Chains A and B, each alone.
Chain A
Amino acid sequence: MSVETGLYGIAILGLLLILRVPVALALIAVSFGGIAVLIGLRPAVGIVTSTPYSFVASWTMSAVPMFLLMGFVCFHAGLTANLFTAAKAVLHRVPGGLAISSIFACTGFAAVSGSSIACAAAMGRIAIPEMVEAGYRPSFAAGALAAGGTIGALIPPSILMIVYGVFAETSITQVFIGGIGVGLLTALSYCLVVFALCWLRPDIVPRRLHHDAEAGSALAALIRIWPLGLLVLLVFGGLFSGYFTATEAGAVGAGGAVILSAVTGRLDRRVIRISLLETLSTCASLFIIGIGASMFTRFLGITGLSGFLGSFVSDADLGYGALMTIIVVIYLALGMFMEPFGAMLVTLPVILPVLKSEGISLVWFGVLVVKLLEIGMITPPVGLNVFVIKNVAARYVSVVDVFKGVTPFILADLVVVVATITFPALALALPQWLAQ
């Protein structure tokens, strides 16, 4: 078992990606080869045997195709077309108004979606074409939505936070509430990015919309989006009244979108066909990457990565600042290649004991770790949110474009991380206040 093999694996992965091998196949090839070298050919075949099925055969994962379908049906049936007419009418004086409203829409959607991918996917299909049409640079529009999606895992419900709470044996409810603060802060920081770019680079983010809507049309536009309003009411209302879980919310949303499109006469064969095809192509290309990322996690796990990382954080002389710096660097580095659940399973066994001995709040750390893992969803070379956005906006952007587009948002994320570490109250004030 050697960490060197893991490092070679990472290097070869980078090389394969540069040589234009599809992300999923590069991950699978390196994991297979790595395990064959470390243990043998039979175990390597064993990994290929079990990972595809076990990764996909998952109830919680079923929210992803369902939320995708909801987004695609809403878009193709034109349920959302008037949404942005309304947004344009209302926000035409706000600089970068459409980007701001997309970020708010992601924040709102975060409250019904447990995962960041589902959030990015559903909102991306709806918002990006509108933004591009309004004069936004496509890479920026795609980047805004890929980053906006990460709010989905910060604001409850959040599958990542539940897994963290179970693993760290700490209050899930408190981590959830802590996530609200950091989630909103993230949204705010993204809005600042929009304002800043709007001011500095009007070629990327237009200061004014091309076509100013007349004030009178705002109300008319708002009235015309009633089917969408009803859908939002159905999903939010049902979730908060406890009729269904966040996993089931996707199917209810998709079902609602289909019914509302049908009763308003907008559901035809073309809409059904194109929505299904886009759902399938996004799911298949996303799940195969997920399978590859999961195999890569298994490979890195076998190399003894966990113990290797532990040797960095277990030094007793580390102060708070140094410890946190190391932890941030570890998560940012792992986030480049690994999916968030795997990165959490590999790191927590060695990091949690150190935090406990330092007396650091595990609730606070839960919020921080989810934030860090979510940054990994948009960093190159393996960024699942970027890939899902690339899929829903293939007409406008390449993967590299989206990675370029998320760069300013990653910088904003880093500011949020530093703020959360410097002022733990950002994550802790709300849960502590509610606990009293």
Chain B
Amino acid sequence: RELRVAPGAPPAHPSNSHLYQKLVEYLPEVSDGQLTGQLLGPEVVSLGQMKDALQSQLVEVGNILPLYFPADLPNMALAGELALSGREPHAMAAAMTEYMVTCDTCQQELKKFGVVYLGSGSSDVYAILTKKPVKTAEDLKGLRLRSGGAPFSRFAEHFGAVPANIPVGDTFESMSQGVIDGSMASVGDLLSFRLVELVKDVTLVPLGTYHATSDFTVSGTTWESLSPEERKQLATAANKANVDFTQRWGYEMAAEATKAAKDAGITFVDPDPAFVKAVQDFAEADKETAAKVAQERFGFTDAGDRVARFSALVDKWNGIFQEVKGDPAELTKRLDSEIWSKVDFSTYGT
């Protein structure tokens, strides 16, 4: 059985190279060649078209970014609101995965959407990429910074910067024109969106992660047609690729981009300790805001409990990450034993 799979991103992006190309590689390995994948590139299905592509069976397994569909996936959007608490990409990806697999309302949302969820990944910890150095909270005042989501906007406004709402593909043009002074983004964006040519300074304050992803979203019709064994095989391959993806996006790419940035003469600014402290305090306080936002926007009456549950899972997986010393193979095993081995594939997602 060949599955049509689509990352919605070009080959250089880790969600293509380390998520979907790996899935296509792992599928026959875990299924004795019974399951294979045909990869459809972004020219066939872009991220914005993924919902329709999955619901119409054009694509059978696809990469969904809930940011594009917040009304459909409120629980994922809620977890996305908690971006600022991200410190360890692997822990965030795992917490997100456990949260989604084990919560009933999440599963109901996915069912309504017509899809089945098979795990998340995470970016590296976002940084402030600017044309002039940001060392203290004072330096942020008045800077226009691209924001990739509501939590980053709240961060910018709290520190007196002006968040700018710009499509990610327009970041280069806007920054080169001087319409924005910088971006709150993954260090990897220096390479992915060529900001390395424009940015002069990088400030690594713990800004949080982008972890509200649904890496492998299986069309409900396809899932129905698979036997419990095949579903388990698909989930096993997905779990391995999820970890590869986070290892790449959250760690290796950030390291490569950092090196390229240093070669290009970009300064890595040492933030003032008081600034770092202020950022951490804000991130902690922002959890309450996130709960309030989720309550107002999605009508969660128990938003506070959900935030607490997600935070507890982040703590749990931070602990596991320490235990296994960040080893990806060990993490894959722990994700399997803690989450996927407890899933009954004859009923999951149906």
Contacts and interface: CB of A to CB of B under 8 A. Distances in A.
Interface of B: 4, 10-12, 38, 40-46, 48-49, 51-53, 55-58, 167, 169-170, 172-174, 176-179, 191-194, 197
A301 B169 contact: no
Q: Across chains A and B, which 6 residue pairs bring their CB atoms closest together, nearest first?
A: A46-B56, A242-B178, A345-B43, A50-B52, A43-B58, A301-B44
Interface string A51-93: 1001000011000000000000000000000000000000000
A232 interface: no
Contact of A162 (B55, B173, B178): B173
B187 to A, nearest CB: 15
A413 to B, nearest CB: 25
A353 to B, nearest CB: 9
A45 interface: yes
A346 B44 CA distance: 9
Interface residues of A, number: 42
Contacts, number: 102
B40 A46 contact: no
B167 A59 contact: yes
A46 B41 contact: no
A171 B49 contact: no
Contact of B194 (A49, A165, A245, A246): A165
A245 B173 contact: yes
A307 B11 CA distance: 13
B179 A244 contact: yes
B12 A49 contact: no
Contacts of B55: 46
A302 interface: yes
A242 B177 CA distance: 5
Contacts of B10: 166-167, 345, 348-349
Contacts of A298: 43-45
Contacts of A54: 46, 48-49
A51 B49 CA distance: 8
Interface string A20-56: 0000000000000001000110110111011100100
A199 B163 CA distance: 59
Given A302-B44, A345-B10, 8 more contacts: A50-B48, A50-B51, A114-B173, A171-B194, A172-B197, A245-B179, A346-B41, A349-B11
24 contacts: A49-B52, A50-B48, A50-B52, A51-B49, A59-B170, A60-B167, A60-B169, A60-B170, A114-B173, A157-B173, A165-B194, A166-B169, A166-B192, A166-B193, A171-B197, A239-B177, A244-B177, A245-B174, A245-B177, A246-B173, A301-B41, A342-B43, A345-B41, A345-B43
Nearest to B191: A169
Contacts of A113: none
Contacts of A157: 173
Contacts of A301: 40-41, 43-44
Interface centre among B55, B167, B194 (most CB of A within 10 A): B194
Contacts of A411: none
A5 interface: no
A1 interface: yes
Contacts of B197: 171-173
